[in-house]
Structure 1
Amino acid sequence: MSLACLFPGQGAQSPGFLHRLPEYAVVRATLDEASATLGTDVLALDSAEALQSTVAVQIGLVVAGVAHARALAQMGLTPQFSAGLSVGAYPAAVCCGALDFADALRMVKKRAELMESAWPSGYGLTAISGLSETQVETLINAHTQDGGERIYVANVNAPRQIVVAGADTALEAFATRALAAGARKAQRLAVSVPSHCELLADATEQLVAWSRDIPFRSPEGVYVDNRGGRPLHDGEAIRADLATNMRYTVLWFDALTVMIESGATVLVEAPPGQVLTDIAREHYPEVAALSASTLPLDRLAATVRRRLGVD
């Protein structure tokens, strides 16, 4: 029986999500530490207006994830596996001890600033449900051959849940094409940059150079990466994953599968998400998948202990 902590990516946020974190001293201390590190009140980052910026969103998701993981750890629940989707990889790295929280905040702030300055407007992500990766790639090729602006596969979240990146006009046209080809849904995500594709190659190179001197350590437990959906065992490999994951397709379903095949039996998704929980429940119903944003922390901890068979 093993615990995995999962950390959601952009699109999971909603106004007020940091204010909805549980009222615990360790959570308050985490918020205060983040504010001191960044020189700003992080609780100002979750207003509807602030969340128009990918910088606020990415910082907020890291803060929420680390606060949640610290609260669970204080209750004696330390995960054997840590993984995050896209920016969720940052709190995952903190959770497993590979990266200090303050360094994660500074690095993710730089990441988001580089992404936002590279493509300040007119780009984003759309989730296509009901088509396989192969079907989506076939539609992308047809879209390109018809003269459409380039579309990229950004995330493989599940076998039939594929996220694509590109310009707003291209995404709108592609959504129409996907629905006509049998997609169940084509949903624009609350993401204002074209994540996880070569449009962010230059920004990635800048982040790699900027983050060269940030100290990373080997993880305690298993850290599962975004790019390959596989365990990484040393700090330098985790540094490379965090510094470069914005330009590569996120293989989330591979990451989820490798954790379960390696023995994860209880999965807990950090606030504010439930998408990763829903994916796990649909494809691995034998595993206990829980969303921290839907349960009071004491009830969540009690449920996790019961599922793990520990007192």
Structure 2
Amino acid sequence: MSLACLFPGQGAQSPGFLHRLPEHEIVRATLDEASATLGIDVLALDSAEALQSTVAVQIGLVVAGVAHARALAQAGLTPQFSAGLSVGAYPAAVCCGALAFPDALRMVKRRAELMESAWPSGYGLTAVSGLSETQVETLANAQDGGERVYVANVNAPRQIVVAGADAALETFATRARAAGARKTQRLAVSVPSHCELLTDATEQLVAWSRDIPFRSPEGVYVDNRGGRPLYDGDAIRADLATNMRHTVRWFDALTVMIESGATVLVEAPPGQVLTDIAREHYPDIAALSAATLPLDRLAVTLRRRLGVD
């Protein structure tokens, strides 16, 4: 039996999500370390007003993910697999020992600042349910006039996220529903993530992160861009620095972990989307959302599922 820790991306946040983390000494220490590293009170980042900022959201998700992973590790639950969707790749890299937490915080802060400054308003993401990647790509390529949309995430075979300008996303959503999509939903993300619109921002982050120390992971780190295991620190650096530019192939990453032996999945707070995807497509695999269970009960449940004392 093997444990995989999954870390959600932007859109999972909601007001107060950092305040809802478990009352635990490791969680408090992680919050204090983050505040000291960044020179701010990180608990101020999860108000409804603060969450209008991409910077606040992305930092908060990294803090929540690392706090969760550290609490599980203290309970003797260290994952064999680590993977995160988009910005979730940062706490995944910390979780497997490839990147120090303070460096992850500084790097993700710079990432979010570059994303926000590249497209400060008028852009975002829309989720499309019920169409395949090929169908979505065909619709995107056929969109006439104005700005185009791009395939940003392949979360599941028929759960695709597209990126682009507000007007283009609205037009695309109408066309997608006419083409048979069950649902289209604008996400709580205010930048056009995972497409060529962030090429310049990616190049700047690659240069900025060149001197950040990375190490080989303990266990298996699965990347966003190719949905494959990475075993080298420099390869993980490249994944983190460039994933905002490339389509996230989350379903490939999930499939690789399961095919490689992951039998129990736990999603870090505040997410449940990755848990729901796993339950729908791999019902024989145990998938749990940490956001829905008290920490002590989660630990007991994970041990039972893993068959450990």
Q: Tell me the TM-score normalized by structure 1.
A: 0.99
Mapped to 2, the partners of 1:301 and 1:22 lie a distance apart of 12
Measured against aligned partners, the alpha-carbon deviations of 1:181-214 in whole angstroms (never above 9, x if no partner) come to 1101100000000000000000000000000000
Mapped to 2, the partners of 1:135 and 1:211 lie a distance apart of 36
* Deviation at residue 146 of structure 1 after TM alignment: 2.1
Q: Where does residue 123 of structure 2 map in the other structure? A: 123
* Deviation at residue 104 of structure 1 after TM alignment: 0.0
Measured against aligned partners, the alpha-carbon deviations of 1:219-278 in whole angstroms (never above 9, x if no partner) come to 000000000000000100000000000000000000000000000000000000000000
Mapped to 2, the partners of 1:200 and 1:31 lie a distance apart of 30
Where does the alignment leave 5 or more consecutive residues of structure 1 unmatched?
Answer: none
Measured against aligned partners, the alpha-carbon deviations of 1:78-109 in whole angstroms (never above 9, x if no partner) come to 00000000000000000000000000000000
Q: Where does residue 51 of structure 2 map in the other structure? A: 51
Aligned ranges 1:30-45 → 2 under 5 Å = 30-45=30-45
* Deviation at residue 63 of structure 1 after TM alignment: 0.1
* Deviation at residue 174 of structure 1 after TM alignment: 0.5
Mapped to 2, the partners of 1:138 and 1:212 lie a distance apart of 37
Mapped to 2, the partners of 1:70 and 1:57 lie a distance apart of 20
Q: Where does residue 102 of structure 1 map in the other structure? A: 102
* Deviation at residue 149 of structure 1 after TM alignment: 1.5
Measured against aligned partners, the alpha-carbon deviations of 1:284-309 in whole angstroms (never above 9, x if no partner) come to 00000000000001111101000000
Measured against aligned partners, the alpha-carbon deviations of 1:96-143 in whole angstroms (never above 9, x if no partner) come to 00000000000000000000000000000000000000010111122x
Q: Where does residue 20 of structure 1 map in the other structure? A: 20
Measured against aligned partners, the alpha-carbon deviations of 1:31-90 in whole angstroms (never above 9, x if no partner) come to 000000000000000000000000000000000000000000000000000000000000
Mapped to 2, the partners of 1:201 and 1:27 lie a distance apart of 35
* Deviation at residue 147 of structure 1 after TM alignment: 1.5
- Percent identity between matched residues is 92
* Deviation at residue 148 of structure 1 after TM alignment: 3.8
Instruction: Say which of 232, 242, 267 aligns to 1:234.
Output: 232
Mapped to 2, the partners of 1:60 and 1:189 lie a distance apart of 17
Q: Where does residue 133 of structure 1 map in the other structure? A: 133
Count of aligned residue pairs for this structure pair: 309
Mapped to 1, the partners of 2:146 and 2:224 lie a distance apart of 28
Query: Which SS does the other structure have where 1:128 is aligned?
Result: strand
Instruction: Say which of 187, 191, 212 aligns to 1:193.
Output: 191
Mapped to 2, the partners of 1:230 and 1:286 lie a distance apart of 22
* Deviation at residue 164 of structure 1 after TM alignment: 0.1
Q: Where does residue 29 of structure 2 map in the other structure? A: 29
Query: Which SS does the other structure have where 1:147 is aligned?
Result: coil
Query: Which SS does the other structure have where 1:63 is aligned?
Result: helix
User: Which runs of 4 or more aligned residues in structure 1 lie more than 2 Å from their structure 2 counterparts after TM superposition?
Assistant: none
Mapped to 2, the partners of 1:138 and 1:112 lie a distance apart of 30
Mapped to 2, the partners of 1:139 and 1:114 lie a distance apart of 29
Q: Where does residue 206 of structure 2 map in the other structure? A: 208
Q: Tell me the TM-score normalized by structure 2.
A: 1.00
Mapped to 2, the partners of 1:168 and 1:103 lie a distance apart of 33
Mapped to 1, the partners of 2:99 and 2:223 lie a distance apart of 14
Measured against aligned partners, the alpha-carbon deviations of 1:144-173 in whole angstroms (never above 9, x if no partner) come to x52241100000000000000000000011
Aligned ranges 1:1-311 → 2 under 5 Å = 1-142=1-142, 145-311=143-309
Query: Which SS does the other structure have where 1:196 is aligned?
Result: coil
Where does the alignment leave 5 or more consecutive residues of structure 2 unmatched?
Answer: none
Query: Which SS does the other structure have where 2:305 is aligned?
Result: helix
Mapped to 2, the partners of 1:146 and 1:167 lie a distance apart of 14
CA RMSD of aligned residues (A): 0.5
Query: Which SS does the other structure have where 2:244 is aligned?
Result: helix
